[in-house]
Amino acid sequence: MAGLRKRFGATPALDGMSFTVRSGVVTGFVGPNGAGKSTTLRVVLGLDTPDAGWALVSGRAYRTLHRPLCHVGSLLDAGALEPGRSARNHLLWLARTQGIATRRVEEVLELVGLAAAARRKAGGYSLGMRQRLGIAAALLGDPPVLLLDEPFNGMDPDGIIWARSLLRSLAAEGRVVLVSSHLMGEVQEMADHVVVAGRGKVIADAPLEDLLARHGTLEAAYLRLTRD
Ligand code: ADP
Ligand code: MG
């Protein structure tokens, strides 16, 4: 994406956001609250229109955004999760609306560790389980590009370790994996490459090891880079 600009009223949410994300590696997307991370992901997916600039994902936009329930009140733009519906039925419904074979639902339920709980009503799920369901929904269509917005929110430590290794293996299979997160420790454990955003633009765009060599930890890099 290059030169993305987007204003909501007087405040610029994106002020020339530009970076390229490679396939085969995990890219961490970090920055303070309000830096423009979520807006960037939404613009890339075509859910928000930029005032200027452009975004391309392998030549087109893929609707595979994963958003945590706690922020937006709906699990996916593909459709709100109804509390009375089971995870399995929710995924079956998504598969039907997207023309995806129903056997893929069982595959993704296994992949995210929800197979045993798949027939329970999603209204009783913990936030961590909803995150897993969100990831399952994003993976239904086996997308080559995954954009995850704060996927670790509400996950317990086991869930975070699981999500980290899942995202690493999805990237290793050759996908584009972009993960926005404010958890520097998690990003340091998982990412190969890191983009640091602040006030709607990129402050740093570097291999994780370069940031670690220069600053010791990603948190130290983040604090130094976003200080002014
Ligand atoms: P981040 O995900 O990095 O925390 P966001 O992209 O959510 O940042 O927000 C960037 C800025 O744009 C913030 O100032 C936020 O308040 C504003 N913003 C984002 N979405 C909207 C919206 N739909 N309406 C008004 N302001 C918004
Ligand atoms: Mg956000």
* Domains in the chain: boundaries: 2-64+143-225, 81-142
Lowest mean pLDDT among 48-62, 88-102, 117-131, 168-182: 48-62
What's CA 94's distance to the chain center, in Å? 19
CA of 96 to the centre of ligand 1 (A): 32
What's CA 89's distance to the chain center, in Å? 23
DSSP-assigned letter for residue 215: H
Residue 138 has pLDDT above 90, yes or no: no
pLDDT at 165: 95
- Using DSSP, state whether 197 is helix, strand or coil: strand
Task: Specify the residue with its C-alpha closest to ligand 1, atom 24.
Answer: 8
Distance CA 79, CA 84 (A): 14
Average pLDDT of every residue of the chain: 86
pLDDT at 127: 83
The predicted model gives 1-13 an average pLDDT of 91
Residue 77 has pLDDT above 70, yes or no: no
pLDDT at 68: 37
Q: What is the pLDDT of residues 33-72, one digit of tens each?
A: 999 999 998 888 777 888 988 887 655 444 444 443 322 5
Class level of CATH domain 2-64+143-225: alpha beta
Pocket-testing residue among 4, 38, 77, 196, ligand 1, by greatest number of atoms within 8 A of Cβ: 38
- Using DSSP, state whether 50 is helix, strand or coil: coil
> pTM for the whole thing?
0.89
Respond yes or no on whether ipTM tops 0.90. yes
Distance CA 41, CA 190 (A): 19
Distance CA 220, CA 75 (A): 33
Distances 46 to 10, 23, 39, 65 between C-alpha atoms, Å: 22, 20, 10, 10
CA of 212 to the centre of ligand 1 (A): 29
**Helix (DSSP H) and strand (DSSP E) numbers for the chain:** 9, 9
Given the CA of residue 41, which atom of ligand 1 is nearest to it?
Answer: 6
Residues near ligand 1 (Cβ within 6 A):
8, 11, 13, 31, 33-39
Q: pLDDT above 90 covers what percent of the chain?
A: 56
pLDDT at 92: 94
Nearest to 179 by CA among 68, 29, 44, 64: 29
Task: Specify the residue with its C-alpha closest to ligand 1, atom 5.
Answer: 36
Residue that wins the pLDDT comparison between 74 and 153? 153
Q: Taking the CB of residue 172, how many other CB atoms lie within 10 A of it? A: 12
Q: Taking the CB of residue 120, how many other CB atoms lie within 10 A of it? A: 14
CB 130 within 8 A of CB 185: no
Q: pLDDT above 70 covers what percent of the chain?
A: 89
